[in-house]
Chain A
Amino acid sequence: MEYIVETKGLSKSYKGKQVVRDVDLKVPKGCVYGFMGPNGAGKSTTLKMLLGLIRADSGEAVIAGNRMNRKNRLQILRCTGSLIESPSYYGHLTGRENLEIVRSLKQAPEKEVDQVLKLVRMERQQNKRAREYSLGMKQRLGLAAALIGRPELLILDEPTNGLDPSGIQEIRELICELPKRMGITVLVSSHLLSEMDQMADYVGIINHGQLIFQDKLDALHEHSKNKLLLRVMNRTTALKVLENRGVESRATEEGILIPGLPDDHAAALAAELAAGGAGLYRMEERQKSLEDIFLSLTGRRASL
């Protein structure tokens, strides 16, 4: 598989406290990679290290096949666009003038300003001063700036932060479109699981500065081994039957939770419970939500 971003042992500490520890990111080309983690997990620090905005204590980053160092940083970053934390803009300049500055520094063709304005649907507001924009508009302006120069890689740090629901939806749709429409790989961070579930093809989960999971989103879902919820008339009897069969069980308010079983095993168990007088009246399949998986991986509750 071809990776557009690959890091090896990326680490950073502040005043003796390690905020990023040996992070080995692998971002496949042409996908939306969701970089998840609770607040303060080290997402922004990792992304800033990728952009060379802060120096890594150790480790290396390879972007688009080039190992980044101080000398070639800008050369490599020419193929990237970024939006880190809050949007960056010159408030006294219009949206268009802001984009002209980015275009000038990136040495991109003049027509690109119009193209990105159209892409983020800001043609009508382009001549308004940036400080008069709403937060959503500023975020779109930031995204437009990141798209100038036709980047191969877009690094977005919590791009939907502070947006209203319609703004969030709009940005999400735009992010999802980018790989298909323009062949751009998007590395997007968020602490919102539901957001990642809707956008990402691949996910990386960071917690306490360590990358604890990295794979396809489907693989993360596979972590949610199905469970069966048994609803019975007689709990004590049911638990005894399960114990005799050697089935791991846990009594909850709703019923008794047991690990998922193949159909034939489930049928046999149902017959045995009925015969034993447990009074089984319902058997439901339960799937772990992404929230549950995240919680089991990080030990911390994340936002939904």
Chain B
Amino acid sequence: MLREWKTEWMKLRRRKAGLLILAFLGFTFVWCAWVVSDADLQDLADGYRWILSNLSIINTILLPTMLAMLASRLCDMEIKGNTLKLICTMEEKGRLFDMKVLTGGVYLVFYVGAELLLLVLGGTLMGFGDPIESKHILYFLLQNIPVSLVIYLLQVMLSFRFENQIIPLAAGLFGSFIGLFSWFFPDSSLFRWIFVWGHYSLLHFIGNTWDEATRIVTYYDVGPNWAALGLVTALLVSGYLACRYLFIRKEV
């Protein structure tokens, strides 16, 4: 296992997958900084809820595209170089698939972790009112990691299926659009449930009220949507098993 894991990272030399992650992280940071630059005292007092609320939407837009690009970086080298027929004589196909998922998972966890770290650092520098709550960190992880992993699995399959990587990348952009669109629907809407990209909005854990008279937005905690989390977990497990099975069955 360790041997295959090490080999996977050897393959990633010069693929600039880390740079891709940093670029998206930088873009997210700039976007959040732009949001904060417009903040008043009221916003800063409940800064973490305010930023987490915005960050959820930003991630819904950016993560599907980033994941499509990441999966493409990790998988298309095997397609372009016809390497599967060589690698699969030395490594189990299922193990190779696991390594692709694991590597992408590591990048994803790093990305979400770095977002949280930047959030805490930014919050401290900007003097947000209350410290970030641990349940917010947990909910943020639960909102972003499982959904992103399901999307990543889908992108891995597409990247292995199509030699032309425009198709998986288009799927990523389509996902970003669907995800953004899902925010305009209520939780009860089927639109949020049937598209996996809409699950970011389903798992959103901060609500808000808008007072038209005072023009003040008040943020409050919403309990996690356990049914949605259950659905995402089921999708993740079944998606992983189905994608792995299909990958193993594919003849090279």
Contacts and interface: CB of A to CB of B under 8 A. Distances in A.
A90 B85 contact: no
B13 A93 contact: yes
Contacts of B85: 48, 51, 53, 82, 84-85, 88
Interface of A: 48, 51-55, 74, 77-78, 80, 82, 84-93, 97, 100-102, 104-107, 130, 142, 145
B4 interface: yes
B90 interface: yes
Interface stretch (B76-84, B111-119, B175-183, B226-234): B76-84
B215 interface: no
Contacts of B80: 91
B81 A101 contact: no
A53 B11 contact: no
A85 B81 CA distance: 12
Contact of B81 (A52, A90, A97, A105): A90
Given A92-B77, A104-B3, A77 B89 contact: yes
23 contacts: A51-B85, A51-B89, A52-B88, A53-B89, A53-B251, A53-B252, A82-B85, A87-B82, A88-B81, A88-B84, A88-B85, A89-B81, A90-B77, A90-B81, A91-B80, A92-B13, A93-B11, A101-B11, A102-B86, A105-B7, A107-B3, A142-B86, A145-B86
A130 B80 CA distance: 12
A97 B13 contact: yes
Interface of B: 3-4, 6-7, 10-11, 13-15, 77, 80-92, 251-252
A104 B83 contact: no
Greatest chain B CB density within 10 A among A85, A86, A88, A97 is at A88
Which 4 A-B pairs rank lowest in CB-CB distance, beginning with the nearest?
Answer: A88-B86, A105-B90, A54-B251, A88-B83
Contacts of B4: 105
Greatest chain A CB density within 10 A among B13, B81, B91 is at B81
B10 A91 contact: no
Contacts of A51: 85, 89
Given A87-B82, A105-B91, A92 B14 contact: yes
A80 B90 CA distance: 10
A51 B90 CA distance: 10
A74 B11 contact: no
B15 A101 contact: no
Contacts of A80: 89
B83 A90 contact: yes
Given A51-B85, A104-B7, 20 more contacts: A48-B85, A48-B251, A53-B252, A54-B252, A74-B89, A74-B91, A78-B90, A82-B85, A86-B82, A88-B87, A89-B81, A92-B14, A92-B77, A93-B11, A93-B13, A93-B14, A97-B10, A105-B7, A105-B90, A106-B90
